[in-house]
Amino acid sequence: MGPKEKKIRLYKSEIERVLNSWAFIPETQEWNIKLAETLAWLNNFKPSEIEYAIKIIENIQYFDDNRIRSIVSKLSGKISSILGDEIEKSLFFPLGTSSASSGAMFLYQYRKELKLSEANFKQDSFENYLNSNVSIVFFDDIIGSGNQATKFFNNYLNNKIVKCYYFSLFGLEKGISYIEKNAKFKMVIVGEEITDEEMAFTDNSEVFNKEEKEIIKPICEKYGKLLYKDYPLGYDDTQALIVFPHNTPNNTLPIIWASNDNEASIVEKQWSPLWNRKKLINSNTKISKKNTLILDVLFIEITELFDKMDKYFHHRNNISIKIKYEQGADFHSYTIKSFNNMIYLKIARNVFFNLDGSILIWLYKNRSITEEASFNAVVKQNFTTRELEVFNFGLFFNRREIEINYKSAQDFFKDVLNTITILIK
C-alpha cells in the first residue's frame, strides 16, 4: 500500500460523514458511486495534501433537491406578493439567450407553485415582448459575480417598456450588490444569500482558520491554474464552495468540478472531478426550448405518480407490501417488498443525454435480471401529443419489442404497476 492510499484510509470516517451530509444513503448504489468519485478525486493530490483536501470537502455547501424545492416555493410566494393582480398577465423566462440556460430547469416547478398556465411561460424568445406593457420575471439558479446578469440587462433590457424582475435561488453577496448598482431590474430577489464569510479565502472568511487558509489557498491556486487558467479560484475569483444536484456553478473552486466535460482546460493536468460541472450548450446550437424543459417535466410527472403507488396497492389490490423510498439528486428509487418477493424500481433523469427530453428506467425482481422482470429503458415524451415512447434495451416485462408506445404517463404508470402486482405476489 502506497503513502497516498494509507493517508486516504486514515480519513475513512470523515469521508463517510461527508457523504451522509450530502444525503447519500450507505450501502446504496448511489453511495458507492459517490464514494468512488470521492476517492478518485482525493487521488488527484499529493499524500501531504490529502488532509487539506479532506478539509475542502468538509466545507462544501451541498444544496439538495428538497432545499431547492423549498426555496422555489418561498420565491413563488414573494412573486405572488410583489406582482399581485398583475401576475396573471406576467411572463416568465430563464435568464439568458440560450435555451439551455441554468434557470430553465426550474420553470416547471415555478409554474406549479404559482398555479399559472403555460401561456405565462412562453416557448418563444423574451425579446418578442420587450416593448409590451407587461412584467417579465427572469429566473436563475445562482448569482455569482453578477457580471452575467448585468451584461444581459444592459444588452437586451435597458430602456425597454417592459418591467423586468430578476429572481435567483441563491446569490453571492458581492454579486447581488454589483447587479443592483450596475443594472436596472425593477427588483433583484434571491432565495438565500451567500455571504463573503462563506467564500473559501476572503479576508473575512469563516470557512478555514488562518493557518489552514495559508496552506489550502496555494494548493487550490496551484491546481486551479492548470485546470481553469484564467480563474483558478472560480469564475471572477468568487471562491465559492457551492454544489447543486443538477450542476456545479463555475463560481465554485475549479478543483472541485474541472473535467473534460466542461469549460475547464485540463490539457496540462488530468483530473478526476468530485462534483462534475455539466458542459454548457453553445448558444448558437439549435435546440428547441420545449425539449430542454420537458426533461424535468417528464421526470417530475412520472415520479409524482410512483411516489404515491402505496395507495394503489392498498386501495386496489389488497396486497400486503412495504415500500422503501429513496431520493437523490437525479433519481427516485423504490424497493417494493412482499412476503415472497422484492421489486426494485429506479427512475432517473437522463443526464447522459440531457437534451432529448427523456428519463431512464431500471426494474429488477429480487435485485437480479430475470426473464420475468428486467428492463433498462429510455422513456421519452412527445411534447405535442403527450404520448410516451419507451425504447427497450433489455426485457420490458417479458416483452422484447424495441419500442412500446403509451398514450399518457398515467397509462405507463398503470402498466408498470399491473405488472409489479403480478410479480410481487
Q: State the SS3 of 51-68.
A: HHHHHHHHCCEECCHHHH
Question: Would you say 202 and 251 are in contact if contact means Cβ atoms under 8 Å apart?
Answer: no
Please tell me whether residues 293 and 188 are part of one structural domain. Answer: no
Closest CA to 274 of 39, 115, 101: 39
What Cα–Cα distance (Å) separates residue 323 from each residue in 23, 24, 65, 332?
A: 19, 19, 21, 12
Note whether 295 and 415 are same-domain residues: yes
Any domain includes 47: no
Grid cell digits, residue 158? 435597458
Could you write out the three-class secondary structure of the chain?
A: CCHHHHHHHCCHHHHHHHHHHCCCCCCCHHHHHHHHHHHHHHCCCCHHHHHHHHHHHHCCEECCHHHHHHHHHHHHHHHHHHHHHHHHHCEEEECCCCCCCHHHHHHHHHHHHHCCCHHHCCCCCHHHHCCCCCEEEEEEEEECCCHHHHHHHHHHHCCCCCEEEEEEEEEEHHHHHHHHHHCCCCEEEEEEEECHHHCCCCCCCCCCCHHHHHHHHHHHHHHHHHHCCCCCCCHHHCCECEECCCCCCCCECHHHHCCCCCCCCCCCCCCCCCCCCCCCCCCCCCCCHHHHHHHHHHHHHHHHHHCCHHHHHHHHHCCCCEEEEEECCCEEEEEEECCCCEEEEEEEECHHHCCCCEEEEEEEECCECCCCCEEEEEEEECCCCCCEEEEECCCECCECCCEEEECCHHHHHHHHHHHHHHHHC
Q: Does 413 reside within a domain?
A: yes
Residue 216 located in a structural domain = no
Decide if 271 is inside a domain.
no
With left for phi above 0 and alpha for psi between -120 and 50, is residue 22 left, alpha or beta?
alpha
pLDDT of residue 318: 60
End residue of a domain, out of 145, 178, 194: 194
Distance, in Å, from the CA atom of 257 to the CA atom of 134, rounded to the nearest integer, reads: 39
Grid cell digits, residue 255: 478543483
Residue 273 inside a domain? The answer is no
Return the closest-CA partner of residue 248 out of 45, 52, 97, 41. Answer: 41
Q: Are residue 71 and residue 187 in the same domain, yes or no?
A: yes
- How far apart CA 375 and CA 212 sit, in angstroms, is 50
185 and 74 in a common domain: yes
Q: Which of 194, 228, 243 is the last residue of a domain?
A: 194
- Please calculate the CA angle 176-273-334 and round it to the nearest 5 degrees: 90
The pLDDT, as a whole number, for residue 99 is: 47
Q: Are residues 190 and 294 located together in one domain of the fold?
A: no
Residue 8 lies in a domain: no
Residue among 327, 360, 326, 364 at smallest CA distance from 344: 364
- Is residue 7 situated within a structural domain? no
Same domain, 182 and 70: yes
Q: What is the pLDDT of residue 317?
A: 53
Domain of residue 70: give its range.
65-194
Structural domains of the chain, count: 2
From the centroid of its chain, how far is CA 123? 22
Show the cell assigned to 40. Answer: 478518485
- The CATH number for 77's domain is 3.40.50.2020
Residue 13 lies in a domain: no
- How far is it, in rounded angstroms, from Cα 188 to Cα 146? 11
pTM over 0.85: no
Per-residue pLDDT of the chain (425 residues; tens, 9 = 90+): 788 899 999 999 999 999 999 988 888 877 888 899 999 999 999 999 999 999 999 999 999 878 888 999 999 999 999 999 999 999 999 888 654 456 566 777 788 889 888 788 886 789 999 988 899 999 998 999 999 999 999 999 998 889 999 999 999 999 999 999 999 999 999 999 999 999 999 999 999 999 999 999 999 999 999 999 889 999 999 999 999 877 889 999 999 999 876 767 655 668 899 998 876 444 343 334 444 444 467 888 888 888 888 877 766 556 677 888 887 667 788 888 887 788 888 888 765 444 456 787 877 776 544 444 445 677 877 766 778 887 765 544 555 555 678 888 888 888 888 878 877 77
C-alpha cell, 100: 439551455
Q: Which of 147, 176, 194 is the last residue of a domain?
A: 194
